Amino acid sequence: MGNEKLSWQDHIRDVPDFPKPGIIFKDITPMLADGAAFSAAVSELAEFIGPDVDAIVGIESRGFIFGAALANKLGLGLVTVRKPGKLPADIHSVEYELEYGVDRLEIHRDALSSGHKVVIVDDLLATGGTASATVELVQKLGAEVVSCLFVIELGFLSGRKALSGTKVCSLLSYN
């Protein structure tokens, strides 16, 4: 691969009308299936992470893929933020608005504590609802969000606005 950066668009498949008519779904599975592309994506995301980070927080479910790879690469722990009913111990939860209703995310109460510095990772930043709910959960535990990392950002949906005050980095942005 040398020093040249991959063209991320070559590893993202557009799927029209998924999950509903009018939506063009950005599918990362071709990137995941290409070992060199996946490795390069993880390495490039790792470049955004400074030395004073204590843990990676992965958002269900594709955030787990990139979050686990980053945590492993950097020798950090992985904290998972899940959909309701998936975590076995005491949890904090937060509801957030979707374009079509309300959803909820959960985190174990003992996953983080005051003074921890974390980076939140997911595959996609759209409207920012899921990511901002995750920021809220992390802050409920007293931890600090250093930044939020995404493979893809749908800039035209203005998700960064929902994360104002938080550093946001993405590998690929569609404006």
DSSP 86: -
- Of the candidates 99, 163, 172, the residue with the CA atom closest to the CA atom of residue 136: 163
40's enclosing H/E stretch is: helix 35-46
48 contacts 73 by C-beta, under 8 angstroms: no
- Of the candidates 168, 79, 80, the residue with the CA atom closest to the CA atom of residue 132: 168
Q: Residues with Cβ < 8 Å from 129, sequence gap 6 or more?
A: 96, 97, 98, 103, 162
- Of the candidates 55, 133, 141, 6, the residue with the CA atom closest to the CA atom of residue 166: 133
**Active-site annotation, residues:** 62, 99
Question: Position 10: which residue type?
Answer: D
114 contacts 142 by C-beta, under 8 angstroms: yes
Q: Among all chains, which residue has been given the structure tokens 């595959």? A: 123
Q: How many helices and strands (H and E) does the chain possess?
A: 5, 9
